[in-house]
Structure 1
Amino acid sequence: MRLGVTMFTTDRAMPVHELARAAEERGFASLYVPEHTHIPVSRRTPPPNGEAELPEPYRRTLDPLVALSYAAAVTERLHVGTGILLAAQRDPVVTAKAVATLDHLSGGRVVLGVGFGWNVEEMADHGVPYGARREMARENVLAMRALWRDEVASYDGRFARFAPSWSWPKPVSGPPVYIGGAAGPKMFAHVAEYADGWMPIGGKGIKAALPALREACEKAGRPMARVIPFGTIPTREKLAYYAELGIEETVANLPSGPADVVLPVLDEYARLVQRPV
């Protein structure tokens, strides 16, 4: 079982390059960071965690690809990923270039976790209608994959389109794409069509969901998607349970704070890495 970590990287939290170094030194496999371009003051959209107030780190997140470039530059083995990148809110051509550049410079260590988003006001400022966010994210990922794959790439969708074009560098690793979110037919249809795997947030209910995910992949004529439980609080028993399900990597949640808050938790998790499950 590989263990990765995720943290809300902000201007007040432990610097991301220091966290990346500390994670690699302790044997962690990966570091994931989230994305919010901005948070409109209006709270018409309730916080996704059920709390009355949206936690401060949501308002202060660093750009994920810039932050991960710092993480990749000071490490050698650590995989760096978005958890999650809001694909519908991004220009696919510009994002494909940035991701490919990061993957090229890091030697193929990028993992792209993408999601559909929850903040209606944030999406609106990007011109994304809430009801179209899934299809926009889908097209943007498919357009990016064409740019990463094809010597002369093009895409002609409802939301994303560009004429036959050259775009280098090509990424080393693909990179693998995982979709974050809750289990369900729509989610698994997206995973089966254009992603490499599923990132269930929090990790609850995975066993019950696996048959539906497997069925969706079989209908699409592809191998079973990989599963990475994301943002969990790990225990030895939980990691053993995931391993029994055939899961090879889990991503643990770190508090967003300074080093004296983050490092003790990282050290606690590291004991699980040092004694493999």
Structure 2
Amino acid sequence: MRIATTIFLTDETITPVRLARELQQRGFAGLYVPEHTHIPVSRRTPYGGGGELPREYGRMLDPFVALSQAAAVTSTLRLGTGVTLVAQHDPIALAKGIATLDHVSGGRFTLGVGFGWNVEEAVDHGVDWPTRRELVRDRMRLMRALWSSEPLAYEGEFATVSASFAHPKPQNGAPRILVGGAAGPKLFAHIAEYGDGWMPIGGRGMRESVPVLRDVWSAAGRDPDALEVVPYAVLPSPGKLAHYADQGVREVVLQLPAGGELEVLRALDEYARYL
């Protein structure tokens, strides 16, 4: 099992360069970072974790800039987003950024796809909240058109692109794509259509959900052995990781504190026993 990490990188935490070097040197498999462009002060949308929204949500570094720094100082560390809020991006520009990061990292990038939870943030980006899932599907299709080996036009419900020259290309035609979100038929349909797997937060309920996802995956004609399930933002214990292994999990992403160098390095020392 590969042991990767995730952290809310901010202007107050350990830097991407220092963290990436430490992760690779210690033998961790990857670094994933989340995304929020801004957090409107109104705070009408409740925080899913309960209580006040943690300070780091409003101070995040841009994930693609941070991961570019990490890519520049490492050679084997995998890099990913957990998650990219696809609905909040121009898909043509996002396709370029993803392909470029995959290119400069030597194919080490994983795109975590999310639909968002903060309504106010999404509305500021012009997202119609009830249709955000359909918008994400449309943008994923458009980006795949731009990543195709030959110029390919795409005309969708929300956006279009003419047949275009668009380089660089992701090394394998597209980066590895993991779709985040709570288990359910809509999410599983998205995973089976354009994903390589599921990124469940914390990994709760996998024993019941993974067999359902496998059925949807197989019904879509996907290779049963290719499905990846990557529990995300996990606070580890030996029993929990053993449970994931029993479920066929080959990678788990451990949550690091959104702290300074000393706090984060102490956490890495603690997590090293799981490597």
How high is the TM-score relative to the length of structure 1?
Answer: 0.96
In structure 2, the residue matched to 1:178 is 178
Deviation at 1:19, TM superposition (A): 0.6
Does the 8 Å contact 1:151/1:167 carry over to 2? no
The answer to whether the aligner puts 1:251 opposite 2:253 as a matched pair is yes
Spell out the pairing of 1:232-247 with structure 2 (5 A cutoff): 232-247=234-249
How far apart, in 1, do the equivalents of 2:254 and 2:208 lie? 21
Could you list the runs of 4 or more consecutive aligned residues of structure 1 that deviate by over 4 angstroms after TM superposition?
none
How far apart, in 1, do the equivalents of 2:236 and 2:223 lie? 28
In structure 1, the residue matched to 2:128 is 129
How far apart, in 1, do the equivalents of 2:38 and 2:130 lie? 20
Question: What do residues 204-233 of structure 1 show as CA deviations (whole Å, max 9, x unaligned)?
Answer: 111110111011111211123210000001
In structure 1, the residue matched to 2:49 is 49
Deviation at 1:90, TM superposition (A): 0.6
The answer to whether the aligner puts 1:157 opposite 2:156 as a matched pair is yes
How many correspondences in the alignment? 272
Question: What do residues 137-179 of structure 1 show as CA deviations (whole Å, max 9, x unaligned)?
Answer: 1111121122112320221111121111110011114201111
Question: What do residues 120-146 of structure 1 show as CA deviations (whole Å, max 9, x unaligned)?
Answer: 110111100110111111111121122
For structure 1, the 5+ residue unaligned runs are none
How far apart, in 2, do the equivalents of 1:142 and 1:257 lie? 37
Q: % of aligned pairs identical?
A: 56
For structure 2, the 5+ residue unaligned runs are none
SS in 2 for 1:240: helix
SS in 1 for 2:24: helix
In structure 2, the residue matched to 1:226 is 228
In structure 2, the residue matched to 1:63 is 62
In structure 1, the residue matched to 2:87 is 88
In structure 2, the residue matched to 1:138 is 137
How far apart, in 1, do the equivalents of 2:272 and 2:109 lie? 22
How far apart, in 2, do the equivalents of 1:48 and 1:151 lie? 43
How far apart, in 2, do the equivalents of 1:196 and 1:181 lie? 14
Spell out the pairing of 1:96-111 with structure 2 (5 A cutoff): 96-111=95-110
Question: What do residues 5-63 of structure 1 show as CA deviations (whole Å, max 9, x unaligned)?
Answer: 00001000100111111111111101000000111111111112122x11110000111
Does the 8 Å contact 1:29/1:78 carry over to 2? yes
How far apart, in 1, do the equivalents of 2:2 and 2:236 lie? 12
